[in-house]
Amino acid sequence: MKQTALITGGSRGIGLGIAIELAKEGIDLAINGVRPEEQISQVLKQLRDLGVRVVYCQGDITRQSEREAILKKIQKEFGQLNFLVNNAGVAPKERKDILDASEESFEYVMKTNLQGPYFLSQAVANWLVEQKKADKGFFGSMINISSISATVASVNRGEYCVSKAGLGMMTRLFAVRLGEYDIPVYEVRPGVIETDMTAGVKEKYDRLFKEGLTPQKRWGKPSDIGKIVLALAKGLLPYSTGEVIMADGGLTIPRL
């Protein structure tokens, strides 16, 4: 039976890289984003050209009504959901020192990066459990796309770091809760990935890579993250629920 994945923020950057790798493997896709569908028609065509069914589920995951609408559309279109990839995330609108950052910025980042994924995961987890109870052969999992910022402190975007650290605990919580149903939950922590979000600092990181920022002296690509998610979706780490997979070119390895 065909499998289906919901990827939040799946129409650009890391999310699109994940979508492409899953589509190549024949996994049908529910792509979530906030942009109108006509603005991403070419992206949807690109994915459909890989031979899978693709449904666009426009919606803001910070809103309960829109989360419910997303899942209802998936139920209507596919009748099932195997994989949730919590990828959607935002950076602070302005990078400010933690001594100056606003409460408004904190709330904005936390709602999208942590609160929305937390309650979307809650809803999906209940659906995955229902499917597992109905069919013991059902396979599903949840995969959270976090960041090295879960542990690497950046004092000019503290709200982002706190949101990603929270996502790490969220991974462990759902891994423990869903363990009895053999539904694994994972976290992937990308490092510096070449996307539209990092386009503004390209020259800076080009230089840093040359100077040895990472043992692997290159930018990470969205496809690097996509391949990890594909391995997890294929069940290649079945006994590693709650595991964190680093995807940072070795950036966080302590070195002398």
Q: Which helix (H) or strand (E) holds 7?
A: strand 4-8
Report yes or no: 30 and 7 within 8 Å, Cβ to Cβ. yes
In this predicted model, what pLDDT tens digit does every residue of 208-240 receive, in sequence order? 999 999 999 999 999 999 999 999 999 999 999
Q: What is the pLDDT of residue 199?
A: 84
Model confidence over 162-214: pLDDT tens digits? 999 999 999 999 999 999 999 999 999 999 999 988 888 899 999 999 999 99
pLDDT value at position 196? 86
For 4-247, CATH number? 3.40.50.720
Question: Which residues are CB-neighbours of 167 under 8 A, at least 6 positions away?
Answer: 86, 113, 114, 117, 144, 146, 150, 187
pLDDT digits (tens, 9 = 90+) for 34-58: 999 999 999 999 999 999 999 999 9
Provide CB contacts within 8 A for 191, sequence distance 6+. 148, 214, 220, 246, 247, 248, 249, 251, 252
**Interval 117-129 mean pLDDT:** 98
Kindly indicate the confidence band of residue 112, based on its pLDDT and cuts at 50, 70 and 90. very high
Sheet strands (E) in 47-146:
54-58, 83-86, 141-145
Amino acid (1-letter code) at residue 36: P
Which residue's structure tokens are 């499998």? 3
- Taking residues 130-159, report their average pLDDT: 98
Q: How confident is the model at residue 116 (pLDDT cuts 50, 70, 90)?
A: very high
How would residue 8 be classed by pLDDT, with cut points 50, 70 and 90?
Answer: very high
